[in-house]
Structure 1
Amino acid sequence: MSRRTFIATTTTAGGVAATAGLAATPSGPAAASSAAAEEVAAEAPPAGRVTLSVNGDRHIVMVDNRTSLLDLLREHLGLPGTKKGCDAGACGACTVLVDGRRVNSCLTLAVRLDGAKVTTIEGLAGDDRLHPLQQAFIDQDAFQCGYCTPGQIMSGVGCIKEGRTGSDAEIREWMSGNICRCGCYTKIVRAVEQAAGRK
């Protein structure tokens, strides 16, 4: 066998082997699509189904297990009254009632609330009448910019239900988790007193 024949034979055999390998391995758009699907499946966060009552309406939603109650309310249920302030549980702007107790919705995982009853600022008023504390905030002019007001009112409702309204100092103590950057604390206390029947 001459050198020329040997090189020609080897090159042909190598080409056949390479072609067979390419045929066995998906390529092009199909391969990219398959790889992308596998990557998305691997990276998809775990999700859970939650059934809960919000302002008297029953909802069944599928959410990422990391979703906060705040984001569930605002982004999934279209209830923007609950405000996102610090998103770290320090300002109280996101306060809602869960089974009658006030919670920071930014720190509460939605998947842990299966079967719970949630009340937001949108659910306080009824029969075209404001809740007594909402009316008291208006009467006492207990807000300026208004951003913290929904959380203040929800916390105030919880404070009244808990019976923490025996004095100005007690109200201030039990409302201390709600920050008002405008400094309306004195009027907020008066509004809680009015709604609690102390004024």
Structure 2
Amino acid sequence: MSEDSQQEALAEWVRKLKNLRVLRLKSTDDLGQPSCLNLKSLLGLGVLSNIYLVGKLQKLSEDQFPPSVTRLTLSASELRDDSMPTLEKLLNLRILELFSGSYTGTRMVFSSKGFGQLRQLRLWKLHELKEWRVELEELEEWTVEKGAMPSIREICNKLKMLPEDGLQHLSTLQKLKLTGMPKEFNAKVNKDHGHQD
């Protein structure tokens, strides 16, 4: 049986697990590099709440995940199109983690009224597959529209940027953890808040 046939069979088998609550899938080739993750729609898994995926995804469709999902982690997905319009429609999503190599596009938009239940957002070097030493295209623009993430409590950001405009609208934000920011950003924050070196 070929690798594609095996993945197809696995994808079909997963779809039949109607009582599945946690799904963790990792797809790598013989050299340990991320390989394609053949993932079909999981919409029929009505109690699935926690999804952790490592491997390349072609694109996320509108019916990719069931509305029961509360935690989603993606790594090495290499998604090229902004997946936020799809992910923000997961009405019960409370934790979103986008790790190394999960998104290779240059623009990401959190739209108004999107991610209504999101409590925690973790972004970690989206453009970098560190353990595989692969550099991907960097994010150039990150927009958080007014009204997005109205329930957010914590953002952990290990990107080299923040939204130009948007975080000031997040009135429920209690914890903001930033690492890897350029010196120019730290200097701007200190200046804006009246801190002296």
TM range (shorter): under 0.3
Greater share of residues in helix = 1
> Which TM-score applies when normalising by structure 2?
0.25
Greater share of residues in strand = 2
> Which TM-score applies when normalising by structure 1?
0.25
Higher relative contact order (CA 8 A, sep 6+): 1
